[in-house]
Every structure is written in structure tokens, then in C-alpha cells.
Amino acid sequence: MNSTENYVRFHLVSLLEQMRQSPNAAPLRVLLLGCTHYPYLKEEIRQVLAELYAFREGETYRYRHVMAPEIALVDPAENVAEELYAFLHAENLLHPESAASETAFYISIPNTTLPEVQVDAAGRFPYAYKYGREAGENKAFVQYTPFSPAHISADTYERWRNLPLPQRPSSNVFRSAAVRKSKLSLNPSLSLCRRTITSQLPVLSGRLLLCVRI
């Protein structure tokens, strides 16, 4: 992969080719960005989607029958943040804005104490190793450490520094918080489901794109 565009192009073409070979495949309408760095590639994804939608072989459009004209890109991080904010608000766990506070942020990095873990010169998992692991190995491939420039590359740190500040959650988040709280207390399985999904996040984050067809 010699560019981010080619990285995106490779995976989108692979996805659409699989869909072309699936009988009665519904058109792709939504792409759920299933890992933390994919929102950085939104423009590249939109560009490649437009390119593939317009791609023709002679008089035939190769992918239009498996693509909607407009494909929505969904960043689940925004929804997760709102859900967390609503939960903390409902449980009265939010720290008062007027009080002095200290915020700590953590990131995951390769766990180099695990003998089989491989990293490249930048301290990242090499592509072949990252995507060549078997699901369900239940090993601590990563460790959690305080967010620091010492643990991430300079270019990644600079991109994060330039990200726009998030907007404060809208009022409807607070209105629905009490409803969600009551549902959780009445239905323990919902809480169990959340814990189960959370436990699977490290596995799910290894996917480039999760395809949702509506």
C-alpha cells in the first residue's frame, strides 16, 4: 500500500467484489467506520466510493447495482461518546464543571512483553502481523498506557492536535438519559449485552469497514 487512497481502494474494491458475487445482494447504503483511525480517511473513502460508482467497463457500470448513489459514513465514536455522557449524567457521575479536576486519557499500544508480538520501526503492528492473527486467541496483544507523545508517532500526534474540538452534547441526550437508565435497571440483559459488546471491541477494531445494508 503506497498511499492512503490505495489502502482504501483495495479494501473497498474487495468488499464490492464480494458483494457482486453474492446472490441478490442489496445495495450498499451505509459504511460503519469500525476503528478509531478510519474517520481520518473519510475524504479518501468518499473519493474512492465516487470513483467506483462511476467506474465503467464499456457501457456497463461495474458496481452500481451493489452501491447506493449516496453512501452514508457513520463514525460510531460520536455515538459512543454521547451514550457515555448520557449514562454518566443519568447516574449523577459527571464531575461539576465549576470544580477543579484532572482528566487522564489512555491509549493502547503493542504489548512487547508478549514474545510473539511484532512491531515495526515506528512501534506499530506490521500490516501482515496485525491482520494475520487468529480471532479468539485471547491474548493481551496490547497494553493500556497514559496518552503521551512518547507512545505515538509525531505525524499522528500532530493530526490529533489539529482535530476540531467536539461540540457539547445536545439537550436531547439528557432527555433520553433517564429513559435509558430505567431500561437498564428493568432489563439486566441490556447491561450484560453492553458488557459483552465492550469485551469484543478489541476484536472488532481489527476490521477496516463493517458493512451495513439497509
- 111 is a domain residue: yes
- 46 is a domain residue: yes
Q: Say yes or no: 59 and 23 in one domain.
A: yes
Tally of domains within the chain: 2
Q: Say yes or no: 74 and 9 in one domain.
A: yes
Q: Is 112 helix (H, G, I), strand (E, B) or coil?
A: coil
- 55 is a domain residue: yes
- 90 is a domain residue: no
Predicted confidence (pLDDT) per residue in 143-183, tens digit? 998 888 788 777 777 777 776 665 655 555 555 555 554 44
pTM: 0.57
Q: Say yes or no: 68 and 12 in one domain.
A: yes
d(CA 45, CA 69): 14
- 73 is a domain residue: yes
Q: Say yes or no: 66 and 118 in one domain.
A: no
pLDDT at 201 over 50: no
Predicted confidence (pLDDT) per residue in 17-65, tens digit? 999 999 888 999 999 988 777 888 889 999 999 999 999 999 999 999 9
Q: Say yes or no: 64 and 130 in one domain.
A: no
- 173 is a domain residue: no
Predicted confidence (pLDDT) per residue in 89-135, tens digit? 888 887 766 665 677 888 888 999 989 999 988 788 888 888 888 88
Output the CA–CA distances (angstroms, integers) from residue 122 to 46, 79, 119, 149, 166, in the order listed: 28, 31, 8, 13, 29
Return the pLDDT at 60.
93
- 214 is a domain residue: no
Domain hosting residue 8, numbered range: 4-78
